[in-house]
Amino acid sequence: MTQTDGYLLDNRQTEAGQRFDAFATLFDPTTFRHIERFGIGSGWRCWEVGAGGTSVVSWLAKKVGPTGRVVATDIDTSWAASAARPPVEIRVHDVGAEEPPGEGFDLVHARLVLVHVPDRERALRSMVKALRPGGRLLVEDADPALQPLLCPDEHGPEQQLANRLRHGFRKLLAERGADLSYGRKLPRLLREAGLREVEADAYFPVTSTACADLESATVRQIRGQLVTAGVATNEDIDRHLANVASGSMDLATAPMISAWGRK
């Protein structure tokens, strides 16, 4: 991720760790399935972009073993610091503004990162540059414009409130430079970056405990911004959090589109 004063979901907040845990539960199986298909094994050199938490980094470390290398970067590495032992190297790094932390990587992966980066084009070029010939790039990003609702089944006032808050959240993201339709562009962008054998798919959880955990952590993290922007009152947010905690609503995420290709 790229450091900007307007970044909405600051890694320094307590809720960030709860969001990383929810992302791991929701999306790690999809991410790991794709990387397994690439044939990852001992000795691979990997760059995890915008690492955030430790789940992907730790999994990669087990796959590449002591002869491999995993470079994990983010603008705020506090949540990933506990994984900093061989073969993992943690670096503070801005993918949209700095040169890549090396070249010759067998795998470069970024999940839910580039949608927030102001200079996404430069970030993608940097990631491609870091690959060895034949290396794999896997970029996974949300497409909130493709499915904008928190509750696709909007059948009552609880769901209507949830969707109103989700609309406000999307508006705040867009105002801070997020591209809410970025995910669908990934296959084309990877081809235009010169990658071969480009493919893509999407994962769209409709309801789960992790979806509720993610929603609760996100709303608590951006509560002040939602109130300041006039999206909702504190009473609205309290009511929504209680509705989420009740387990009575089917909460979805935006589709996560995974796109991959070979240099």
Q: Output the CA angle 244-247-248, nearest 5 degrees.
A: 95
Task: Give the C-alpha separation, 141 to 152, whole Å.
Answer: 20
Look at residue 169 and give its three-state secondary structure: helix
Confidence of residue 76 (pLDDT cuts 50, 70, 90): confident
pLDDT digits (tens, 9 = 90+) for 1-55: 333 344 666 666 678 889 999 999 999 999 999 999 999 999 999 999 998 889 9
Cβ distance 233 to 108 under 8 Å?
Answer: no
Cβ distance 170 to 179 under 8 Å?
Answer: no
Q: Which residues, at least 6 apart from 149, have a Cβ–Cβ distance to it below 8 Å? A: 163, 166, 252
> How high is the pLDDT of residue 3?
36
Bridge partners, residue 90, by sequence: 72
What's the mean per-residue pLDDT of the chain?
93
Element spanning 203, H or E:
strand 196-203
Structure tokens at 138: 């896997």
Cβ distance 79 to 217 under 8 Å?
Answer: no
Which DSSP state fits 82? G
> How high is the pLDDT of residue 1?
36
> How high is the pLDDT of residue 2?
35
Q: Which residues, at least 6 apart from 126, have a Cβ–Cβ distance to it below 8 Å? A: 95, 96, 98, 99, 100
pLDDT digits (tens, 9 = 90+) for 150-166: 999 999 999 999 999 99
Query: Which residue intervals of 148-192 are DSSP H helices?
Result: 157-175, 186-192
Q: What is the pTM of this model?
A: 0.93
Q: What number is the average pLDDT over the span 78-107?
A: 91
Which DSSP state fits 197? E
Which residue in 153, 164, 141, 117 sits closest to 254, CA to CA?
141
Binning the chain into helix, strand and coil, the percentages to the nearest 5 are 40, 20, 40
Which DSSP state fits 255? P
pLDDT digits (tens, 9 = 90+) for 206-256: 999 999 999 999 999 999 999 999 999 999 999 999 999 999 999 999 999
